[in-house]
Amino acid sequence: MVFLATSLSLAWFYIGLRRLPAAQHPPLWRNACFVIGVLSLYAMVQTHIDYYAQHMFFIHRAQHFVLHHVGAFLIALGASGGVLWAGMPDFVKPVLASKPIRTFMNVIMNPIVAPLIFVGMIYVWLIPAIHTRVMLDTRLYDLMNWSMALDGIAFWWLVLDPRPKPPARVGSGIRALLIIAVEPPQMVLGAILSLSSTDYYPVYQICGRMFDIPALSDQHYGGLIIWLPGTLLSLLAIILVLINMRRNEERGSQAHA
């Protein structure tokens, strides 16, 4: 399924670039962001990295940081929705434009719901009882990874959409607030895990740790991954929101000149 999704995404992207006139192509750096983002998601779940993530908590957190943050961030930064739409087969478009799909997207990208789901996904999958069950059930494990990646793409697209409102769903001020809103809960969770003297995830002892490090050290490293890199990415996101806001204001001024 992951291979199919990756192949279709890249194929539709390539076909879309061929079909659209050069004037409608995103800048090269955005195209590169999209491709790297898609490939990074693939690497997290379809290479040996995924095996290590099942046996070390801190690698698992690094894997999810890429799925939910870095890879999803790059895909959103690619702003390639128009290219993908141009490249996909005609029979797929009515499905994506159907009322159920549009309703679902409106819900998860609502400015109130989106940050709750974005942070909630991290918390829910790390509830010790749930995490233990997930790590021992292949279907739940796959569901966890898919939900983290798709939710990450939806959230980052909401805040990194380079277009002004409308057609973007929210304005620049709301985007900055959303980024700020999701950061404290992640910092709190990261601090709890990185400073705790309790091993919340003995399931990794059951699975067998790949590296000979204490369980608490494994958990502390994982907590730091939640705590620190996410803060830096949020700072970058706010900078990009401000840059997009300035560019949109300049375009608006030129259009009225």
Task: Compute the distance between CA of residue 161 and CA of residue 175 in angstroms, rounded to an integer.
Answer: 9
Do residues 188 and 250 lie in contact, with contact meaning Cβ atoms separated by under 8 Å?
Answer: no
Q: How confident is the model at residue 248 (pLDDT cuts 50, 70, 90)?
A: confident
The yes-or-no verdict on residue 53 having pLDDT over 90 is: yes
Predicted TM-score (pTM) of the model is 0.92
Q: What residues contact 95, with CB distance under 8 A and at least 6 apart?
A: 101
Query: 208-236 pLDDT, tens per residue?
Result: 888 889 999 999 999 999 999 988 999 99
Query: 141-176 pLDDT, tens per residue?
Result: 999 999 999 999 999 999 999 988 888 889 888 999
Residue 2 or residue 71, greater confidence = 71
Q: What is the structure's pLDDT at 133?
A: 95
Query: What dihedral angle (degrees, nearest 10) is formed by the CA atoms of 150, 152, 158, 160?
Result: -130
Query: 7-43 pLDDT, tens per residue?
Result: 999 999 999 999 999 888 999 999 999 999 999 999 9
Q: What is the structure's pLDDT at 251?
A: 77
Q: What is the structure's pLDDT at 154?
A: 94
Q: What is the structure's pLDDT at 208?
A: 85
Query: 100-146 pLDDT, tens per residue?
Result: 999 999 999 999 999 999 999 999 999 999 999 999 999 999 999 99
Q: How confident is the model at residue 67 (pLDDT cuts 50, 70, 90)?
A: very high
Q: What is the structure's pLDDT at 168?
A: 86
Query: 70-97 pLDDT, tens per residue?
Result: 999 999 999 999 999 999 998 989 998 8
Q: Where are the domains of the chain?
A: 2-256
The yes-or-no verdict on residue 256 having pLDDT over 70 is: no
Amino acid at 19: R
The yes-or-no verdict on residue 255 having pLDDT over 70 is: no
How is residue 164 annotated by DSSP? Answer: P
Q: How confident is the model at residue 257 (pLDDT cuts 50, 70, 90)?
A: low
Q: What is the structure's pLDDT at 250?
A: 78
Do residues 206 and 147 lie in contact, with contact meaning Cβ atoms separated by under 8 Å?
Answer: no
Do residues 187 and 147 lie in contact, with contact meaning Cβ atoms separated by under 8 Å?
Answer: no
How is residue 69 annotated by DSSP? Answer: I
Segment among 24-28, 186-190, 205-209 with least mean pLDDT: 205-209
Q: At what angle do helices 172-195 and 138-160 cross, to 10 degrees?
A: 140
